Amino acid sequence: MIFKIINKVKTTPVAPLNRPEKVLYDIIGDVHGHARELQLLLKQMDYRKINDVWFHPERKAVFVGDFTCRGPQTRETINIIRLMVENDSGLAILGNHEMNVIGHFTKNGDNQSFKPATGSNKRLMDNIRAEYIYEREQLKADLKWLRRLPFAIDLGPIRIVHAYWNPSHLERIEQRRTKRKLTKKLLLEIFSPDTELGKAVRQTTRGIEINLPHDLIIKDQKNIRRTSFRVKWWEPPYGKTFRQMGFGNKFILPEYTVPPEIIIPFDVYPPDAPPVFVGHYCVPPSHMMPADNVCCVDNCLANGGQLAAYRWNGEPHLKMTNFVFQRKRTLE
Protein backbone atom coordinates (compact mmCIF):
# COMPACT_ATOMS: atom_id res chain seq x y z
CA MET A 1 0.00 0.00 0.00
CA ILE A 2 1.22 3.46 -0.87
CA PHE A 3 0.16 5.04 2.42
CA LYS A 4 2.25 2.96 4.77
CA ILE A 5 5.36 5.17 4.82
CA ILE A 6 4.60 8.82 5.37
CA ASN A 7 5.76 11.82 7.35
CA LYS A 8 9.32 10.53 7.55
CA VAL A 9 10.78 13.96 8.15
CA LYS A 10 14.50 13.69 8.73
CA THR A 11 14.99 15.60 11.94
CA THR A 12 16.89 14.72 15.08
CA PRO A 13 14.53 13.99 17.99
CA VAL A 14 14.99 16.41 20.85
CA ALA A 15 14.99 13.51 23.34
CA PRO A 16 15.79 9.81 23.09
CA LEU A 17 12.61 7.76 22.72
CA ASN A 18 13.83 4.21 23.40
CA ARG A 19 10.62 2.98 21.83
CA PRO A 20 9.70 -0.71 21.84
CA GLU A 21 9.69 -2.48 18.49
CA LYS A 22 5.89 -2.42 18.35
CA VAL A 23 4.53 1.11 18.68
CA LEU A 24 0.94 1.59 19.80
CA TYR A 25 -1.25 4.49 18.74
CA ASP A 26 -3.55 7.09 20.27
CA ILE A 27 -5.96 8.33 17.61
CA ILE A 28 -7.01 11.85 18.60
CA GLY A 29 -10.20 13.51 17.35
CA ASP A 30 -10.82 16.95 15.90
CA VAL A 31 -8.92 19.50 18.00
CA HIS A 32 -10.21 22.58 16.14
CA GLY A 33 -7.66 25.03 17.52
CA HIS A 34 -8.09 24.13 21.19
CA ALA A 35 -4.42 23.83 22.11
CA ARG A 36 -5.01 23.86 25.86
CA GLU A 37 -7.44 20.94 25.71
CA LEU A 38 -5.01 19.04 23.48
CA GLN A 39 -2.19 19.44 25.98
CA LEU A 40 -4.47 18.38 28.82
CA LEU A 41 -5.44 15.22 26.94
CA LEU A 42 -1.83 14.40 26.08
CA LYS A 43 -0.87 14.80 29.72
CA GLN A 44 -3.84 12.69 30.77
CA MET A 45 -2.53 9.91 28.47
CA ASP A 46 0.94 10.12 30.08
CA TYR A 47 2.69 12.01 27.30
CA ARG A 48 5.37 14.31 28.65
CA LYS A 49 6.73 17.54 27.26
CA ILE A 50 10.48 17.57 26.63
CA ASN A 51 12.06 20.64 25.01
CA ASP A 52 8.63 21.76 23.75
CA VAL A 53 7.78 18.37 22.20
CA TRP A 54 5.21 15.96 23.60
CA PHE A 55 6.49 12.37 23.78
CA HIS A 56 5.31 9.00 25.01
CA PRO A 57 7.90 6.22 25.51
CA GLU A 58 5.66 3.53 23.99
CA ARG A 59 3.02 5.25 21.88
CA LYS A 60 2.41 7.72 19.05
CA ALA A 61 -0.40 10.20 18.68
CA VAL A 62 -2.33 10.21 15.39
CA PHE A 63 -4.35 13.32 14.52
CA VAL A 64 -7.35 12.72 12.25
CA GLY A 65 -7.46 16.23 10.77
CA ASP A 66 -9.52 19.34 11.58
CA PHE A 67 -7.02 20.48 14.17
CA THR A 68 -7.37 24.04 12.82
CA CYS A 69 -10.19 26.65 12.97
CA ARG A 70 -13.04 27.40 15.39
CA GLY A 71 -10.96 27.41 18.59
CA PRO A 72 -8.80 30.33 19.76
CA GLN A 73 -5.36 28.70 19.29
CA THR A 74 -4.93 27.36 15.76
CA ARG A 75 -1.34 28.62 15.52
CA GLU A 76 -0.37 26.97 18.82
CA THR A 77 -2.20 23.76 17.92
CA ILE A 78 -0.34 23.52 14.61
CA ASN A 79 2.92 24.14 16.48
CA ILE A 80 2.25 21.30 18.94
CA ILE A 81 1.28 18.80 16.25
CA ARG A 82 4.00 19.85 13.81
CA LEU A 83 6.71 19.39 16.43
CA MET A 84 5.33 15.94 17.27
CA VAL A 85 5.23 14.89 13.62
CA GLU A 86 8.71 16.20 12.90
CA ASN A 87 10.12 14.46 15.96
CA ASP A 88 8.46 11.09 15.30
CA SER A 89 6.10 11.19 18.24
CA GLY A 90 3.00 11.84 16.13
CA LEU A 91 1.32 11.49 12.73
CA ALA A 92 -1.26 13.79 11.19
CA ILE A 93 -3.57 13.93 8.18
CA LEU A 94 -5.57 16.66 6.47
CA GLY A 95 -9.23 17.35 7.14
CA ASN A 96 -11.65 19.69 5.40
CA HIS A 97 -10.73 22.58 7.71
CA GLU A 98 -7.04 22.26 6.84
CA MET A 99 -8.05 22.36 3.17
CA ASN A 100 -10.04 25.52 3.91
CA VAL A 101 -6.95 27.08 5.50
CA ILE A 102 -4.73 26.02 2.59
CA GLY A 103 -7.22 27.30 0.01
CA HIS A 104 -7.73 30.65 1.71
CA PHE A 105 -4.16 31.56 2.61
CA THR A 106 -2.21 30.08 -0.32
CA LYS A 107 -1.86 32.54 -3.20
CA ASN A 108 -1.86 31.74 -6.90
CA GLY A 109 0.18 33.47 -9.61
CA ASP A 110 -2.11 36.50 -9.49
CA ASN A 111 -1.64 36.80 -5.70
CA GLN A 112 -5.23 35.66 -5.16
CA SER A 113 -6.44 32.94 -2.82
CA PHE A 114 -7.07 29.57 -4.43
CA LYS A 115 -10.38 29.38 -2.56
CA PRO A 116 -11.29 32.51 -0.59
CA ALA A 117 -13.41 31.77 2.46
CA THR A 118 -16.89 33.24 2.67
CA GLY A 119 -19.55 33.67 5.35
CA SER A 120 -18.75 32.08 8.70
CA ASN A 121 -15.60 30.49 7.27
CA LYS A 122 -14.30 33.97 6.44
CA ARG A 123 -14.59 34.90 10.13
CA LEU A 124 -12.60 31.78 11.06
CA MET A 125 -9.85 32.74 8.62
CA ASP A 126 -9.76 36.30 9.94
CA ASN A 127 -9.25 34.91 13.45
CA ILE A 128 -6.39 32.73 12.27
CA ARG A 129 -4.79 35.66 10.45
CA ALA A 130 -4.95 37.64 13.68
CA GLU A 131 -3.11 34.84 15.50
CA TYR A 132 -0.24 35.20 13.00
CA ILE A 133 -0.39 39.01 12.81
CA TYR A 134 3.27 39.38 13.84
CA GLU A 135 4.39 36.02 12.43
CA ARG A 136 3.64 36.09 8.71
CA GLU A 137 6.68 34.01 7.84
CA GLN A 138 5.54 31.42 10.36
CA LEU A 139 2.15 31.30 8.65
CA LYS A 140 3.85 30.65 5.31
CA ALA A 141 5.99 27.92 6.86
CA ASP A 142 2.98 26.28 8.51
CA LEU A 143 1.04 26.37 5.23
CA LYS A 144 3.89 24.62 3.44
CA TRP A 145 3.95 22.00 6.20
CA LEU A 146 0.20 21.45 5.91
CA ARG A 147 0.54 20.94 2.16
CA ARG A 148 2.94 18.05 2.82
CA LEU A 149 0.58 16.13 5.09
CA PRO A 150 -1.18 13.07 3.66
CA PHE A 151 -4.92 12.54 3.42
CA ALA A 152 -4.86 9.06 4.94
CA ILE A 153 -2.65 6.62 6.82
CA ASP A 154 -2.65 2.85 6.45
CA LEU A 155 -0.91 1.23 9.41
CA GLY A 156 -1.85 -2.28 8.35
CA PRO A 157 -4.16 -3.43 11.15
CA ILE A 158 -5.87 -0.01 11.27
CA ARG A 159 -6.50 2.91 8.94
CA ILE A 160 -6.98 6.63 9.53
CA VAL A 161 -8.81 9.11 7.28
CA HIS A 162 -10.77 12.25 8.07
CA ALA A 163 -14.19 11.40 6.61
CA TYR A 164 -14.30 8.61 3.97
CA TRP A 165 -11.97 5.74 3.09
CA ASN A 166 -12.04 5.00 -0.62
CA PRO A 167 -8.94 3.25 -2.05
CA SER A 168 -9.56 4.63 -5.55
CA HIS A 169 -9.75 8.20 -4.25
CA LEU A 170 -6.64 7.79 -2.13
CA GLU A 171 -4.71 6.20 -4.99
CA ARG A 172 -5.69 9.04 -7.32
CA ILE A 173 -4.60 11.68 -4.80
CA GLU A 174 -1.30 10.01 -3.98
CA GLN A 175 -0.36 9.50 -7.61
CA ARG A 176 -0.86 13.19 -8.30
CA ARG A 177 1.05 14.57 -5.34
CA THR A 178 4.47 15.71 -6.52
CA LYS A 179 7.09 14.64 -3.98
CA ARG A 180 4.23 14.03 -1.51
CA LYS A 181 3.17 17.66 -1.67
CA LEU A 182 0.10 19.58 -2.77
CA THR A 183 1.66 21.82 -5.39
CA LYS A 184 -0.05 25.01 -6.50
CA LYS A 185 -0.88 23.32 -9.80
CA LEU A 186 -2.68 20.57 -7.88
CA LEU A 187 -4.47 23.11 -5.67
CA LEU A 188 -5.86 24.79 -8.77
CA GLU A 189 -7.30 21.45 -9.89
CA ILE A 190 -8.56 20.48 -6.43
CA PHE A 191 -10.44 23.75 -5.93
CA SER A 192 -11.85 23.81 -9.46
CA PRO A 193 -15.41 22.48 -9.82
CA ASP A 194 -16.15 19.11 -11.40
CA THR A 195 -12.64 17.64 -11.45
CA GLU A 196 -12.05 14.02 -10.46
CA LEU A 197 -9.19 15.04 -8.18
CA GLY A 198 -11.39 17.66 -6.52
CA LYS A 199 -14.11 15.06 -5.97
CA ALA A 200 -11.60 12.62 -4.46
CA VAL A 201 -10.28 15.23 -2.01
CA ARG A 202 -13.75 16.53 -1.19
CA GLN A 203 -15.22 13.11 -0.36
CA THR A 204 -12.07 12.03 1.51
CA THR A 205 -12.24 15.09 3.78
CA ARG A 206 -16.00 15.67 3.90
CA GLY A 207 -17.52 12.21 3.48
CA ILE A 208 -20.44 11.26 1.26
CA GLU A 209 -23.11 13.95 1.17
CA ILE A 210 -26.41 13.50 -0.67
CA ASN A 211 -28.63 16.37 -1.75
CA LEU A 212 -32.05 16.42 -0.14
CA PRO A 213 -35.14 16.53 -2.38
CA HIS A 214 -36.13 20.11 -3.22
CA ASP A 215 -39.55 19.67 -1.63
CA LEU A 216 -38.09 18.42 1.66
CA ILE A 217 -37.45 21.43 3.90
CA ILE A 218 -35.21 20.69 6.89
CA LYS A 219 -33.76 23.31 9.21
CA ASP A 220 -31.15 22.91 11.92
CA GLN A 221 -31.22 24.29 15.47
CA LYS A 222 -30.10 27.69 14.17
CA ASN A 223 -33.07 27.74 11.78
CA ILE A 224 -30.75 27.41 8.79
CA ARG A 225 -32.10 25.33 5.91
CA ARG A 226 -30.07 22.23 5.09
CA THR A 227 -29.86 21.04 1.50
CA SER A 228 -27.75 17.89 1.93
CA PHE A 229 -27.01 15.25 4.53
CA ARG A 230 -24.07 13.01 5.48
CA VAL A 231 -24.51 9.27 5.10
CA LYS A 232 -23.13 5.99 6.47
CA TRP A 233 -20.68 4.98 3.76
CA TRP A 234 -20.04 1.63 5.46
CA GLU A 235 -23.60 0.46 4.74
CA PRO A 236 -25.43 -0.12 1.43
CA PRO A 237 -27.70 2.93 0.98
CA TYR A 238 -30.74 1.52 -0.81
CA GLY A 239 -33.99 0.72 0.96
CA LYS A 240 -33.19 2.80 4.06
CA THR A 241 -34.95 5.79 5.54
CA PHE A 242 -33.23 9.16 5.68
CA ARG A 243 -32.68 8.70 9.41
CA GLN A 244 -31.24 5.19 8.97
CA MET A 245 -28.86 6.33 6.26
CA GLY A 246 -27.74 9.57 7.90
CA PHE A 247 -24.75 9.94 10.21
CA GLY A 248 -23.32 12.96 12.01
CA ASN A 249 -25.99 15.44 10.91
CA LYS A 250 -26.92 18.31 13.23
CA PHE A 251 -30.59 18.13 12.32
CA ILE A 252 -33.37 15.54 12.43
CA LEU A 253 -34.00 13.54 9.28
CA PRO A 254 -37.39 12.04 8.42
CA GLU A 255 -38.32 8.39 8.85
CA TYR A 256 -39.32 7.58 5.30
CA THR A 257 -37.40 5.80 2.58
CA VAL A 258 -34.81 7.74 0.61
CA PRO A 259 -35.84 7.95 -3.07
CA PRO A 260 -33.29 5.85 -4.99
CA GLU A 261 -32.94 8.49 -7.72
CA ILE A 262 -31.26 10.97 -5.35
CA ILE A 263 -28.64 8.49 -4.11
CA ILE A 264 -25.23 9.11 -5.61
CA PRO A 265 -23.11 5.99 -6.21
CA PHE A 266 -20.27 5.41 -3.76
CA ASP A 267 -18.05 2.52 -2.71
CA VAL A 268 -19.29 0.93 0.52
CA TYR A 269 -16.55 0.18 3.06
CA PRO A 270 -16.47 -3.64 3.41
CA PRO A 271 -17.34 -5.17 6.80
CA ASP A 272 -14.24 -7.39 6.63
CA ALA A 273 -11.85 -4.47 5.97
CA PRO A 274 -9.46 -3.29 8.72
CA PRO A 275 -10.89 -0.90 11.32
CA VAL A 276 -10.89 2.68 10.05
CA PHE A 277 -10.77 5.75 12.30
CA VAL A 278 -12.39 9.02 11.24
CA GLY A 279 -13.14 12.43 12.69
CA HIS A 280 -15.41 15.05 11.10
CA TYR A 281 -18.84 13.81 12.16
CA CYS A 282 -19.22 15.36 15.64
CA VAL A 283 -21.14 12.60 17.42
CA PRO A 284 -21.95 11.71 21.05
CA PRO A 285 -20.19 8.77 22.71
CA SER A 286 -23.12 6.47 21.91
CA HIS A 287 -22.45 6.93 18.17
CA MET A 288 -18.65 6.83 18.14
CA MET A 289 -18.53 3.16 17.07
CA PRO A 290 -21.28 2.93 14.43
CA ALA A 291 -19.89 -0.32 12.98
CA ASP A 292 -17.53 -3.06 14.11
CA ASN A 293 -14.76 -1.66 11.91
CA VAL A 294 -15.63 2.07 11.88
CA CYS A 295 -14.72 4.41 14.74
CA CYS A 296 -15.37 8.15 14.94
CA VAL A 297 -13.16 10.00 17.41
CA ASP A 298 -14.82 13.40 16.98
CA ASN A 299 -16.84 14.03 20.16
CA CYS A 300 -17.73 17.65 19.24
CA LEU A 301 -15.10 19.60 21.16
CA ALA A 302 -15.90 22.69 19.06
CA ASN A 303 -19.60 22.38 19.93
CA GLY A 304 -19.53 21.89 23.68
CA GLY A 305 -18.27 18.30 23.72
CA GLN A 306 -14.93 16.85 24.75
CA LEU A 307 -11.67 16.12 23.02
CA ALA A 308 -11.47 12.34 22.65
CA ALA A 309 -8.91 9.72 21.74
CA TYR A 310 -9.00 6.00 21.07
CA ARG A 311 -6.03 4.16 22.59
CA TRP A 312 -5.32 1.33 20.16
CA ASN A 313 -3.33 -1.44 21.82
CA GLY A 314 -3.14 -3.84 18.90
CA GLU A 315 -6.60 -5.37 19.33
CA PRO A 316 -8.28 -6.64 16.12
CA HIS A 317 -11.74 -5.73 17.44
CA LEU A 318 -12.34 -2.20 18.69
CA LYS A 319 -13.65 -1.63 22.22
CA MET A 320 -15.56 1.32 23.64
CA THR A 321 -13.54 1.03 26.85
CA ASN A 322 -10.44 2.17 24.95
CA PHE A 323 -11.77 5.70 24.57
CA VAL A 324 -10.30 8.51 26.65
CA PHE A 325 -12.11 11.83 27.09
CA GLN A 326 -10.25 14.94 28.14
CA ARG A 327 -10.98 15.86 31.74
CA LYS A 328 -11.33 19.49 32.77
CA ARG A 329 -8.26 20.33 34.79
CA THR A 330 -5.32 22.71 34.86
CA LEU A 331 -1.95 22.33 33.18
CA GLU A 332 0.86 22.43 35.71
pLDDT along the chain (332 residues), means of 10: 38 42 91 98 98 97 98 98 98 98 94 94 97 96 98 98 98 91 96 95 98 92 91 97 97 95 97 98 97 98 96 96 87 58
Beta carbons within 8 Å of 190's beta carbon, 6+ residues apart: 99, 182, 197, 198, 201
pLDDT at position 3: 45
Beta carbons within 8 Å of 297's beta carbon, 6+ residues apart: 27, 28, 29, 30, 64, 277, 278, 279, 288, 308, 309, 310, 323
Per-residue b/e over 138-154, b at no fewer than 16 CB within 10 Å? Answer: ebeebbebbbbbbbbbb
CB atoms within 10 A of CB 159: 22
Q: Which CATH architecture has domain 24-207+275-325?
A: 4-Layer Sandwich (3.60)
How many degrees, rounded to 5, is the angle at CA 117 between CA 113 and CA 118? 135
pLDDT at position 22: 79
pLDDT at position 170: 98
pTM of the model: 0.92
pLDDT at position 332: 57
CATH 3.60.21.10 occupies which residues in the chain? 24-207+275-325
pLDDT at position 330: 61
CB atoms within 10 A of CB 250: 14
For residue 174, CA distances in Å to 32, 169, 210 come to: 25, 9, 26
Q: How far is CA 104 from the centre of its chain?
A: 18
